Structure 1
Amino acid sequence: MELVFIRHGQGEHTLDVPKSLQIEDPALTSIGKEQALLLRNQFPLTDEDVIIISPIRRTLETAFIWSENKNCRKIVSPLVAPRIFPIHSSMYTLPCDKIIDLEIIEHDYPTFEMDSKPSIELWSDGINTLTEQQFTYLAEKFIGDCKKLHKEKIYIVSHDGTITSYRQMLSGQRLTRNDFPKETGWFSVKC
């Protein structure tokens, strides 16, 4: 199985850092929407594909624009929500990285399904500040659940820190923030 991790398009929270990191539920910018459209050429989807999406507006919008007019399976999961990288014990979740309410996701994205496996705590708190040990445990379970989908390729729309955390865990390499993917940048790994 191949996992293709794709970072969301440009979000409003990146336009005036650090002040813009205080924006709650930031959407894609017009550039971010164009970047999401370009994914259609880079990764053409079929109705047989599966996309797993972080429960944050900018990732949901990226997946929605990219998959428009495709009946592929779209699964929203907190196991690919924002994650601080590298993790620090004193860090906390910024307003721009807070998971949006399930009711809002279900209303705004009715064709997306919610991952039923994660606990209610993960749906509210996410994986942002979990210890490395906690993250690794959940990430390994997540990879196992992906394998149970029996697909050759699964796309995951997520965030720079989350992608880098999974990449470090799966590759065994020591990575830094310099390894973050750019907007709609991607990383692929065979599992």
Structure 2
Amino acid sequence: MELVFIRHGQGYHTLNLPESLQLRDSPLTDQGIKQAISLRETFPLTNKDIIVISPIRRTLQTAFIWSKGMECKKIVNPLVSPRMFPQKTKWSTLPCDKMMDSKLIEKEFPDFTLEGNWSTELWSEGINTISEEGFSILGEKFIEWCKQQNTETIYIVSHDGTITSYRQLLSGQRLSRKDFPEETGWIKIKI
């Protein structure tokens, strides 16, 4: 099986750093929309494909635009929500990385399914500030969940820190912020 981690398109939260990190519920910019459209050529989807999406507006929009008109499975899962990298135990989640309310996701993205087998706390807080040990446990559960999906490829639309955390977990290598993918950049990992 192959996991294809894709970073979301450009969001408004990156346009005026560090002030723009204080934006909550930041959507894609016009450039981010173009990047999401370009994923159609890079990764043409079929109705057999599965996309797992972080519960953040910019990732949901990226997946929505990329998969428009395609009847593939679109699953929102908090185990691919934003994660700070490297982990700083005393830091808190930035406003730009606060997850959308599940009811709002269901209303605005009715074709997406929320993966509901996770705790209420995970749905509200995500994986951003959990310890490395806690992430390893949940990350392994997510990988097992992926293996149970009975498909050859799962696309995961997520965030630079989250993607790098999963890469580090799966490879056993120490990575750094230099290993972050660019906007709509992608990493393939066989599991």
Cα deviation code 1:47-100 (max 9, x no counterpart): 110000000000000000000000000000000000000001111100000001
Q: Whole-Å Cα distance in 1 between the matches of residues 169 and 106 of structure 2? A: 31
Q: What are the equivalent positions in structure 2 for 1:85-124 lying under 5 Å apart?
A: 85-124=85-124
**Cross-structure match for 1:47:** 47
Q: CA deviation at 1:164?
A: 0.2
Equivalent residue letter for 1:27: P
3-state SS in 2 of match to 1:128: coil
3-state SS in 2 of match to 1:52: strand
Equivalent residue letter for 2:83: R
**Cross-structure match for 2:3:** 3
Q: CA deviation at 1:10?
A: 0.1
**Cross-structure match for 1:148:** 148
Unaligned runs of 5+ in 2: none
Q: CA deviation at 1:118?
A: 1.1
**Cross-structure match for 1:164:** 164
Q: Whole-Å Cα distance in 2 between the matches of residues 117 and 43 of structure 1? A: 28
Q: What are the equivalent positions in structure 2 for 1:170-189 lying under 5 Å apart?
A: 170-189=170-189
- How many residue pairs get aligned? The number is 191
CA RMSD of superposed structures (Å): 0.4
Equivalent residue letter for 1:34: K
3-state SS in 2 of match to 1:105: helix
Question: Given the two structures, how large is their TM-score scaled by the length of structure 1?
Answer: 0.99
Q: Whole-Å Cα distance in 2 between the matches of residues 150 and 180 of structure 1? A: 29
Q: Whole-Å Cα distance in 1 between the matches of residues 77 and 153 of structure 2? A: 17
3-state SS in 1 of match to 2:124: helix
Q: CA deviation at 1:6?
A: 0.1
**Cross-structure match for 1:136:** 136
Q: Whole-Å Cα distance in 2 between the matches of residues 178 and 48 of structure 1? A: 34
Unaligned runs of 5+ in 1: none
Equivalent residue letter for 1:18: P
**Cross-structure match for 2:35:** 35
Equivalent residue letter for 1:144: E
Percent pairwise identity: 61
Question: Given the two structures, how large is their TM-score scaled by the length of structure 2?
Answer: 0.99
Equivalent residue letter for 1:120: T
Aligned structure 1 segments of 4 or more residues deviating by more than 6 angstroms: none
Equivalent residue letter for 2:101: D
3-state SS in 1 of match to 2:59: helix
Q: Whole-Å Cα distance in 2 between the matches of residues 26 and 2 of structure 1? A: 30
